[in-house]
Amino acid sequence: MLKIAVIEDYFVFRFGLRGLLEKNFSELDLMETEHSADYGEKLERFQPDLVILGINGAGKANGFYLTKKIKTLYKKVPVIIYDIQADYAAAVKYIRSSANGYLSKTDGEDELLTCIKTVMLGKNYVCRKIQENIIEHLIMDKPASRVHKKLSTRESEIASHISDGEKTSDIAHKLGLKSSTVSTMKSKIYSKLGVSNAVELRMRIKA
């Protein structure tokens, strides 16, 4: 019997995960909860074999904290981060926070199953998009890594969206932030990297 705990605020994602897990694991004991104050008590009672931690927009900072706390309480229990979208800088930070796996909610069923099977064998796994990012950084002598080292995790995340040509309002909506906050952080990013617009930022990251 595989005991999986899903910590996710949004019902639609919990519902989708439940369907995929029940479809692929015949002997499954599933616990679902939100990012509530009593999630620790629920985990203590349930004693999971695996934790899937859902991350949504502005919840990344809390996600890092929860990952460390869960791994402190259950060192041998694998934790898979289920992020709203693939984010290289966040993935690196989660793995450094002792998470065992990293996926985005846009990844398919096969990748979810591969991730679960891999972490249950005691290994780490990141989704294919992040794997591709890692390879790109290695091939290009890690220029993007050098750029991101100058930025905070949130700044790095916003910089990636800006370099992809996304508008301030769209970035704010995706990350659960105010447009004014994104604009302020964009100015800080430009200042730190010595650029003045999105085109220069893209060239700076890929140079």
Asked whether residue 34 is assigned to any structural domain, the reply reads yes
150 and 50 assigned to the same domain:
no
Instruction: Assess if residue 41 is contained within a domain.
Output: yes
Q: Are residues 76 and 172 in the same domain?
A: no
Question: Looking at the predicted structure, is the pLDDT value of residue 19 above 90?
Answer: yes
Q: Is the pLDDT of residue 51 over 70?
A: yes
Same domain, 26 and 99: yes
pLDDT at 25: 93
- Last residue of a domain, which of 131, 161, 190? 131
| Contact assessment for residue 84 and residue 156, using Cβ atoms and an 8 Å cutoff | no
Percent of the chain with pLDDT over 90: 44
Res 133 pLDDT > 90: no
pLDDT beyond 70 at 68: yes
Give the residue, 61 or 27, on which the prediction is more confident: 27
Of 96, 131, 166, at which residue does a domain stop?
A: 131
pLDDT higher than 80, residue 57: no
Same domain, residue pair 92 and 124: yes
Same domain for 125 and 53? Answer: yes
**CATH number of the domain residue 172 falls in:** 1.10.10.10
Residues 58 and 160 in one domain: no
Give the span between the Cα atoms of 165 and 46, in whole angstroms. 44
Mean pLDDT of the chain: 87
Among candidates 157, 117, 111, 116, which has minimal Cα distance to 133?
157
Predicted pLDDT at 122: 94
Label residue 73 by pLDDT band (50, 70, 90). Answer: confident
Q: Does position 84 have pLDDT exceeding 60, yes or no?
A: yes
Q: If you average pLDDT over each of 9-13, 15-19, 143-147, which comes out highest?
A: 15-19
CA 188-190-191 angle, to 5 degrees, is 65
Query: In this structure, is residue 136 part of a structural domain?
Result: no
Residue 172 lies in domain: 141-206
103 and 50 within one domain: yes
User: What pLDDT shows up at residue 148?
Assistant: 67
Q: What is the pLDDT of residue 136?
A: 66
Sign of CA dihedral 2, 10, 8, 116: positive
In the chain, how many domains are there?
Answer: 2
Query: Residue 184's pLDDT is what?
Result: 94
Structure tokens at 93: 């930070």
Q: Apex CA 186: angle with CA 207 and CA 195, to 5°?
A: 35
State whether 151 and 123 are in the same domain: no
Per-residue model confidence (pLDDT) at position 59: 55
Same domain for 111 and 200, yes or no, is no
- Candidates 35, 138, 53; CA nearest to 88 is 138
Q: Is 203 in contact with 196 (CB distance < 8 Å)? A: no
Quickly state the pLDDT bin for 157 (edges 50, 70, 90): confident
Q: What count of other Cβ atoms lies within 10 Å of the Cβ of residue 5?
A: 24
Query: What φ, ψ does residue 116 adopt, rounded to 5°?
Result: -60, -50
Residue 47 forms part of a structural domain: yes
**Whether residue 150 sits in one domain with residue 123:** no
Indicate if the pLDDT at residue 142 is higher than 80. Answer: no
Query: pLDDT tens digits, residue range 92-104?
Result: 889 888 999 999 9
- Statement to judge: residues 52 and 145 lie in one domain: no
- pTM > 0.85: yes or no: no
**Given 131, 166, 195, which residue is the final one in a domain?**
131
The span from the CA of 138 to the CA of 144, in Å, is 10
Does any domain span residue 36?
A: yes
What's the token pair of residue 138?
A: 């290695």
